[in-house]
Structure 1
Amino acid sequence: MPEQDDGEHEFDLRWADAATHKEPSARARMLAARWKENPPEPVPFRADPGPAARSRSSWLSTALVLGCVIGVILLLGYVRFQAPY
């Protein structure tokens, strides 16, 4: 098997994952430096929801959809009735 230069070796992901020391990402380093001087304020796990927006009731939406379906069925029936064979 011929010798290969270091640049020609295929990157082995398993070898990289098994490394004992992993360098943090640039974003992690940036946030660590920023938070060292100005730490973020604590945030609750789930914030209290604000007032809920009033939505239309489900029966109104159902009636609208059924009305549209019935209108399309009637329109298609009318077009077919009017078309000569």
Structure 2
Amino acid sequence: MPEHEQDDQEREFDLRWADQAEQKEPSARARMLAARWKENPPGPVPFRADPEHVARQHRRSGWVSTAIVLGCVAGVIVLLGYINFRTY
């Protein structure tokens, strides 16, 4: 068996073995934040913005971007037609 296939099989085995672990160690960032927050907990932060405002803004931006794209496509079509008209 080629060497790279053997490495892939060993890596797959290691990943399965690691995924089956009963306890998982938190990442270094999680440990750092836990230690920092133990001494100085963060203040309250709102989880999400007002849903009405977000929905309204999202709907509007979707139409604006659609209009811009369609306008650009129409502009290119008109420009190509004008160039083609001038060549004849």
TM-score relative to the length of structure 2:
0.53
Structure 2 match to 1:30: 32
Which of residues 60, 66, 70 in structure 1 aligns to 2:74? Answer: 66
Separation in structure 2 between the aligned mates of residue 66 and residue 31 of structure 1, nearest angstrom:
52
| 1:41 corresponds to | 43
Structure 1 runs of 4+ off > 4 angstroms?
60-65
Name the CA shift for 1:47/1:63 in 2 (closer, same or farther; >3 Å).
Answer: closer
Aligned partner letter, 2:44: P
1:67–1:37 CA distance, 2 compared to 1 (3 A)? same
Counterpart of 2:30 in 1: which secondary structure? helix
Q: Superposition RMSD on alpha carbons, in Å?
A: 3.1
Structure that is richer in helix per residue: 2
What's the secondary structure of 1:24's corresponding residue? coil
- How many residue pairs match? The answer is 66
**Structure 1 residues 36 and 68: alpha-carbon distance in aligned structure 2, compared to 1, 3 A threshold:** same
Q: Deviations over 1:42-83 (max 9, x none)?
A: 22221245xx7xx9x96x85667535532320222212x1xx
Structure 1: segments with no counterpart, 5+ residues: 1-9
CA distance in 1, matches of 2:31, 2:74: 56
Under a length normalisation based on structure 1, what TM-score does the superposition of the two structures give? Answer: 0.54
